[in-house]
Amino acid sequence: MPESDPLLETRGITVRFGGNTAVNDVGLAMTEGQITGLIGPNGAGKTTMFNTITGLQKPASGQVMLDGADITKLSPARRARRGMARTFQRMELFLSLSVRDNVRVAGDILRSSTRKRFDLDEETDKILERTGLTDIAGRDVSDIPIGRARVVEVARALMTSPRVLLLDEPASGQTERETEAFAEMLAGLAGEGLAICLVEHDLPLVMKLCSTIHVLDYGALIASGTPAEIKDSPEVIAAYIGTEEASHE
């Protein structure tokens, strides 16, 4: 069975900050219905890649392609309207609002910035149920555990009806049980056709969920492949996996 064309692709992305090259000639691909991993040591360039993909960072060279169209020069808002959503390593939530209102506000913004018409309350309730947040919908975000607050960020992103979802360390702060539920939810979302890219230091979670994994080190792509290929790669073991496994012993 032939592989599907990537829904989102980067070609030769290079990002420089002054005289420092943060990302060097990186090409990634994300496909509908699959979870793609992006891993590497701290400072490897993972968040910089996310910022470039979503339009927060302008590359020195290279292209960002979405569904075959070059979106490199589009603003973050225009990329979002084309179906791109993300979460952040440092949570960006309205702490004084309830879980429900945090999710609802994303739908309100979507409805006011596009011609999409839908029942806002009904869609909010659907997303809350889909992400397992219905039981805490009325609580302020500042009053819930950080692991579930991470899920609120994902729910808010889903409220924009994305085709591509980029998650920056979404399992950080989660308990083992929360991570298990989170993994099940992500697998279900991918099964519904969403293209997901996961930046995560929880390697067992990445290995379990991802069909393809890209590995960055010092801004360069050092490996791409299946979880089995990445786990057995001498370059990846030397640069990252060996260090990460040692830190969990």
Q: pLDDT tens across 188-240, in order? A: 999 999 999 999 999 999 999 999 999 999 999 999 999 999 999 999 988 88
pLDDT category, 4, cuts 50, 70, 90?
A: confident
Mean pLDDT of 50-73: 96
* Contact in structure between 139 and 93 (CB atoms under 8 Å): no
Q: Which residues contact 149 (CB under 8 A, 6 or more apart)?
A: 91, 93, 141, 173
Distance CA 119, CA 141 (A): 23
Whole-number pLDDT of residue 247: 46
Whole-number pLDDT of residue 242: 66
For residue 90, pLDDT over 90 is answered with no
Whole-number pLDDT of residue 243: 54
More confident residue, 135 or 249: 135
Whole-number pLDDT of residue 96: 86
Whole-number pLDDT of residue 108: 82
For residue 246, pLDDT over 50 is answered with no
More confident residue, 92 or 123: 123
| Gyration radius (Cα) of the chain, Å | 18
- What's the mean pLDDT when you consider all of the chain? 91
Detail the DSSP E strand segments found in 29-148: 29-30, 35-39, 61-66, 69-70, 84-86
- Domains contained in the chain, CATH given: 1-83+164-249 (3.40.50.300), 91-161 (no CATH)
Read off the tokens for 14.
């290079």
pTM equals 0.90
Mean pLDDT of 21-25: 96
Mean pLDDT of 72-94: 90
Going by the DSSP 8-state scheme, the letter that residue 98 receives in this structure is B
Whole-number pLDDT of residue 111: 74
